[in-house]
Structure 1
């Protein structure tokens, strides 16, 4: 079972969850934003080494502590890596007070019925067993929704809850992430279908079971409040989805009960060329802005 202190922190404490889980497909873009062009590395191994250096710089920065960053989502290779001679999950929790999660999905299938389901995860149980041994509290898995298609969105929700059950069986907290793309031509309609389908899945969970939800910030403020207040929901966190940090925070602050779980919006001002002082100041500003939007609601 996940450490009860970790569960209490991510369920109740003020703050937000940092998403540091860029995978093979999104890593080149994240490195480019950081100031590392693809010409700087010649292999996937070198790419992931540079990404680990960036993540290490982030999680060892003074502002990256559990007082405001209550949790962080890691890429599998980051979970298996080390910082200052310790496993990353151990360092995060014992030195920084930040609860570690791990991304478990292996990417997306081709779009069908307006959505992209997750690819099969044949090694999921092995990954979950490793995560438990490393002291990880939970997992995250992402699928995407482009169109307001009832059949497609129902399939997305069903898959998320089915795999969530396998994760919960290992004593981990599943974060379900059915992302409505911010460029969806019918985003609000898709969100309405998704809310209903998620509620069906929540209502079917056994007594005492809880999940976390990671959702796109809705078009209508407080639209997900019924999910925030549902007895089977430990926390609802919001992804930035391609919005700038300023716009994501403006939208987030209008939604009571939602806290941030930003990736690109958290990292957008960080550059490899910065001095440590410059880097730490930029990261602290990002942490403060996302924290404020997560706890101070309009």
Structure 2
């Protein structure tokens, strides 16, 4: 493990950029960027376009390790290059940003009020590829829709089981059991989730460090005790469909919780903007998210 990257993820102020839209979410990301689906006809063309979008974001002057401590990437992104360097190397060597890799393969249909992750049959190969491409850690997402204790217990158990394999490769896992912001019993979901997180954290060895990516809680400061846990390197927050303004406002009320936004980060960016318009808007977005993350 890169000790300098570990130190940065442990204590440096800033936030994590989520640039990991994959096959299912890429068309929506491109659509929001101003590229409709009739502008490409194959998956390769689609991924070329989204890599161009991500390259434009990453190369923007404000996208640096000064305020962004890490970035989550998609598998096809780590296989591609920016200015003759693989994306993860470019992020760290040119920008001072720690690279993470999304490893989940999407969600199962809803059952017991949750969506577990689909099986990841190629996880070992993917982790080996991540190591070859100088990835620091991973991220995997599942979703909680309602306050079903059995379902939430299953989600957290699945996340931690896979996290242990990731840890065995010397990588830091980001566990993301997202609570749907539209859940009618969101606060109850979060109470059950926290109980299950603690139950699983307490089973880890002392030297096993994980990160958590959680929905901004309904109760301010709700995850402070999770943030303080010895096995937790960092707790980051997803925007979950909130606007950037709402996400920043809610995040700022939760000391110690930092952002890992996707849609809220890129909100308003458009393929037809001039480079100055694009850079200015991204700088404003980064600064606002950073300020909310250091409260």
Q: TM-score, normalised by structure 1?
A: 0.98
Partner of 2:191: 192
Matches within 5 A, 1:283-294: 283-294=282-293
Matches within 5 A, 1:117-156: 117-156=116-155
Gaps of 5+ in 2: none
**Deviation (angstroms), 1:221:** 0.4
**Deviation (angstroms), 1:170:** 0.4
Partner of 1:70: 69
Counterpart-to-counterpart distance in 2, 1:7 and 1:213: 15
Partner of 1:274: 273
What secondary structure is seen at the aligned counterpart in 2 of 1:243? Answer: coil
Counterpart-to-counterpart distance in 1, 2:78 and 2:243: 27
Partner of 1:54: 53
**Deviation (angstroms), 1:11:** 1.4
**Deviation (angstroms), 1:217:** 0.1
**Deviation (angstroms), 1:133:** 1.2
Count residues with an aligned counterpart: 295
Partner of 1:93: 92
Matches within 5 A, 1:204-243: 204-243=203-242
Partner of 1:84: 83
What secondary structure is seen at the aligned counterpart in 2 of 1:112? Answer: coil
Which portions of structure 1, spanning 4 or more consecutive aligned residues, are displaced by more than 6 angstroms? none
Counterpart-to-counterpart distance in 2, 1:4 and 1:158: 29
Matches within 5 A, 1:26-41: 26-41=25-40
Counterpart-to-counterpart distance in 2, 1:88 and 1:18: 14
**Deviation (angstroms), 1:7:** 1.0
What secondary structure is seen at the aligned counterpart in 1 of 2:175? Answer: strand
Counterpart-to-counterpart distance in 2, 1:252 and 1:187: 16
Counterpart-to-counterpart distance in 1, 2:206 and 2:216: 28
Gaps of 5+ in 1: none
**Deviation (angstroms), 1:152:** 0.2
